[in-house]
Chains A and B, each alone.
Chain A
């Protein structure tokens, strides 16, 4: 339980740091403008285009290998809202 509390504290501290960074980031001029993200928005640029399929592939590896974690599971695309 203590470990969980410690971890939650660290997460909260990290989120606070991120919030400060994000606030500072509002003034950063994006070097790739939203209208320049057409290529990034193409579905072929998604790391995980089909969620069920890529999840199953990852789990096949998980069953046969000792390594685990950081499989991804998202990302790619234009990175914009």
Chain B
């Protein structure tokens, strides 16, 4: 985007409020679906809080998203519309669809490939009073075997000469989990998020964000379709499967630092570090660096690199020594020890339609990320071999986003 005219006393920036889209997760930890809902409403509300206390811009976005990797394909649209009223109220709505086709290594080794669809709708309200912004959001997600309802509230306030914005957020979600083909199966899950964020202007060219978030889960956290693997001398291939068993509670903490720096020739550098741990024994770190460079008057290019690493949950094993070896047993590769590398870019073109007077400006965007996952203790049993000595699993995923944004 082209820089906006800035005058003394009129330096308001209406950064976009983040609307959380989501990709469905039937082929990975099913409890994350509710987490998506919770994240969506929390970010619907909190994201405005982490910026200067102004109402979000009136804008509309329509995006096509596609994830393709590890035998899983997820694609669909996401539509966001945001409109303010009477100067201190803003409403926004998001409609999102995931169309899933899964033949992941888990599915192939334990079940049959399938297709699925998930629909998600969100509605949020922002209310601005002086330097305080309050936000409410509701999100509903519907899938054949998972329904999630989530609500959230957040408040943010500018202080210290508007150099600092502090925000607090809370969200609660209730999920109902069923299992296709099993009418007797019914479980529930309650999740709560607590978040605090500080956005701090450091210098005329740099800004720092600090975020802390605690998430608690109580209820059914398994994927009802996934099994763990154990050594079974009586089996032809040397191992057998039994349904996973997870604890019924989980609490996690995450702390993130983000720094953005403006370069003298109109470009921007950013860096991010996040530390994570939880009561399942998992700790994770990720770092990301990005560079934003306007090419011509209306073109902007972003390039980025991200590295992520985590250790396994206490109750994870690729191959348990016997059936029911311990109280809790999991073989979900997202709970294993692994690293991932991401490289990506985004190209944006801004346009200023003169024919359509109700549109101030717009942008066309294309984004591609390549993510390489390398697992240290999750084996690809579809490739055969002696039990416990199969090749370690790895794969590359492509993530595409193509979207149109208009401001009015």
Rounded to whole angstroms, the CA-CA distance of A34 and B9 in the bound complex is 6
Contacts of B175 in A (CB 8 A): none
Query: How many chain B residues touch A (Cβ–Cβ < 8 Å)?
Result: 117
Contacts of B89 in A (CB 8 A): none
Which of B47, B194, B256, B346 has most A Cβ within 10 Å?
B47
Closest beta carbon of chain B to A61's beta carbon, Å: 7
- Would you list which residues of chain A between 58 and 74 have a CB under 8 Å from chain B? 58-74
Contacts of B61 in A (CB 8 A): 50-53
- Would you list which residues of chain B between 1 and 29 have a CB under 8 Å from chain A? 1, 3-4, 6-9, 11-13, 15-23, 25, 28
- Would you list which residues of chain B between 334 and 361 have a CB under 8 Å from chain A? 334-335, 340, 346
Closest beta carbon of chain B to A32's beta carbon, Å: 5
Check: B207 CB closer than 8 A to any chain A CB: yes
One of B105-113, B155-163, B225-233, B384-392 at the interface: B155-163
Contact B274 A70 (CB under 8 A): yes
Contact B63 A68 (CB under 8 A): no
Contact A63 B32 (CB under 8 A): yes
Check: A2 CB closer than 8 A to any chain B CB: no
Contact B65 A56 (CB under 8 A): yes
One of B197-205, B236-244, B318-326 at the interface: B197-205
Contact A68 B35 (CB under 8 A): yes
Rounded to whole angstroms, the CA-CA distance of A17 and B213 in the bound complex is 19
Rounded to whole angstroms, the CA-CA distance of A15 and B347 in the bound complex is 41
Contacts of B20 in A (CB 8 A): 55, 58-59, 73
Contacts of B35 in A (CB 8 A): 62, 68
Rounded to whole angstroms, the CA-CA distance of A67 and B203 in the bound complex is 31
- Would you list which residues of chain A between 15 and 37 have a CB under 8 Å from chain B? 15, 18, 21-22, 25, 28-32, 34-37
- Would you list which residues of chain B between 249 and 270 have a CB under 8 Å from chain A? 252-256, 258, 260, 262, 266-268, 270
Contacts of A68 in B (CB 8 A): 32, 35, 39, 215, 252, 254, 276
Contact A67 B52 (CB under 8 A): no
Rounded to whole angstroms, the CA-CA distance of A70 and B369 in the bound complex is 21
Q: Which residue of A lies closest to B160 (CB)?
A: A25
Q: With A32-B204, A34-B8, A73-B43 in contact, is A42–B32 under 8 Å at CB?
A: no
Contact B367 A53 (CB under 8 A): yes
Closest beta carbon of chain A to B67's beta carbon, Å: 6
Contacts of A46 in B (CB 8 A): 13, 15-16
Q: Which residue of A lies closest to B193 (CB)?
A: A69
Contact A40 B205 (CB under 8 A): yes
Question: How large, as a class, is the contact surface on chain A?
Answer: 35 or more
Contact B51 A67 (CB under 8 A): no
Contacts of B146 in A (CB 8 A): none
Contact of A48 among B15, B165, B280, B282 (CB under 8 A): B15
Contact B161 A37 (CB under 8 A): no
Contact of B294 among A44, A47, A58 (CB under 8 A): A44
Closest beta carbon of chain B to A51's beta carbon, Å: 4
Contacts of A58 in B (CB 8 A): 20, 39
Q: With A55-B40, A56-B401 in contact, is A40–B201 under 8 Å at CB?
A: yes
Check: B310 CB closer than 8 A to any chain A CB: yes
Contact of B209 among A37, A56, A72 (CB under 8 A): A72
Contact A45 B268 (CB under 8 A): yes
Rounded to whole angstroms, the CA-CA distance of A78 and B262 in the bound complex is 11
Contacts of B205 in A (CB 8 A): 39-40
Check: B303 CB closer than 8 A to any chain A CB: no
Contact B11 A74 (CB under 8 A): no
Contact A70 B204 (CB under 8 A): no
Q: With A49-B16, A79-B199 in contact, is A15–B155 under 8 Å at CB?
A: yes
Contacts of A40 in B (CB 8 A): 13, 201, 204-205, 207, 262
Closest beta carbon of chain A to B169's beta carbon, Å: 10
Partner-B contacts on A (CB < 8 A): 4, 7, 11, 14-15, 18, 21-22, 25, 28-32, 34-81
- Closest 3 A/B residue pairs (Cβ): A30-B161, A69-B213, A74-B50
For the A-B complex with A11-B168, A74-B51 known, give 12 more contacts whose Cβ atoms are closer than 8 Å: A11-B170, A25-B160, A37-B11, A44-B266, A53-B61, A60-B397, A66-B276, A66-B282, A75-B165, A75-B209, A78-B11, A81-B162
